[in-house]
Structure 1
Amino acid sequence: MFKIATTPKMMEDAYNIRKEVFVREQGVPLENEIDEHENIATHVVGYDKKDIPFATGRFRPYKDGVKIERVAIIKTHRNSGLGKLLMSFLEEVAINKNYRNLMLNAQYHARPFYESLGYHTIGEIFLEENIEHIAMIKKI
C-alpha cells in the first residue's frame, strides 16, 4: 500500500497528489508547494488496490531529527483510517533511518488527528500559506 518513492513515476504521483490537495483544494501557489527540499526528502506514496495513488508525505533531516511535511490524502480516500496508516509508515521509515525526534507543522484543524498519534503542540498558532498551523513534536 505505502511505498518509498524510488522512481520518477512515483515522484510524479506524489507531486500530483500534493497539487490536487494543496494547490487546487487549499489554494497554495504551485511555486510554493514544490520547494528546495524535494531532493533531500524521503517521499512516500500510497497506492490503493487498483494501484491508484491516493496519499503522500515526506520527511527530511531537521535539527536533531526529521520534519514530516506534505502529508496529503486525496478527497475520495479520506476519513477511512488511511491517514493513520500513512503516518505510521512515515514514522517506521524514519525509525529505520535511526531518527527518533519527529517534528511537523500541522494545519491547525488537523491538530486532534496528530495528537491522537502521540504528537504534542509547541509554540503558538502561525500562518503558513494563509492557513493556520501549529508546530508539533513526537519522540519515539
Structure 2
Amino acid sequence: MSQVTVKIATSTNEFAAIEEIRKTVFQEEQGVDAVFDFDGLDETCDRLIASLNGEFIGTVRIRVLNPEMAKIERLAVLKQGRGYGIGKKLMAEALEIAKSKGILEVVIHAQEYIKPLHQQLGFEEYGDVFVSSGIRHVKMRKVIKNEE
C-alpha cells in the first residue's frame, strides 16, 4: 500500500527537493523557462512537499495576495508519483492552510488539462483560456467557507 504524506516544507533538504521537482516537471517536461518558475517569491510563500513511501514526489506553494485572498501555484508531481492522488492531496492541504490563515478566496491559474482535478475541489472557472509559457491555462477560484 502506498503512503502519501503532505507537509509544509521547513528544511534545506525539503526546499532543495521542491526545486528539483519543479525543474523536472516545469523545465524539463514542459519546457518552461526557469525565470518564469523561479520568480523570487518562494521565500514569501508556504511551500508544501509531498512524499510517496518516503520519497519526495510533489509540491505546491501558497502565496498570500492580501489578508483575504491567496493564490495556490506551482503544483508539480513527478511522473512516478502520478495516479496516486498526490496533486489532489497537495491542493486539499493548501486549501486547509489558506483557510487556517483566514483566507476567504483562493485563485489559481491551472493548466487547462488539469482543470477537472480543481473542479473536484470546488474551484470554478472564470475568464478566458490564456497561454503562459506556451501552455494553455484557465483562471479558477474558490470561495472558502469558514464553517464554525
Does the alignment pair 1:110 with 2:114?
A: yes
Aligned pairs, number: 139
Letter of the 1:116 counterpart = Q
Length-normalised TM-score, structure 2 = 0.89
Q: Give the equivalent residue in structure 2 for 1:138.
A: 142
Structure 1 spans left out of the alignment, 5+ residues: none
Does the alignment pair 1:55 with 2:58?
A: yes
**Residues 52 and 81 in structure 2, CA contact (< 8 A), matched pair in contact too:** no
Does the alignment pair 1:129 with 2:130?
A: no
Q: Give, in whole Å, the separation in 2 of the partners of 1:121 and 1:53.
A: 30
Structure 2 residue matching 1:36: 3-state secondary structure: coil
Query: Following TM superposition, by how much is the alpha carbon of 1:31 offset from its aligned partner in structure 2, in angstroms?
Result: 2.1
Length-normalised TM-score, structure 1 = 0.94
Query: Following TM superposition, by how much is the alpha carbon of 1:103 offset from its aligned partner in structure 2, in angstroms?
Result: 0.4
Structure 1 segments, 4+ long, off by >4 Å, are none
User: Which of residues 94, 97, 101 is equivalent to 2:101?
Assistant: 97
Q: Give the equivalent residue in structure 1 for 2:37.
A: 33
User: Which of residues 2, 8, 12 is equivalent to 2:6?
Assistant: 2
Structure 2 spans left out of the alignment, 5+ residues: none
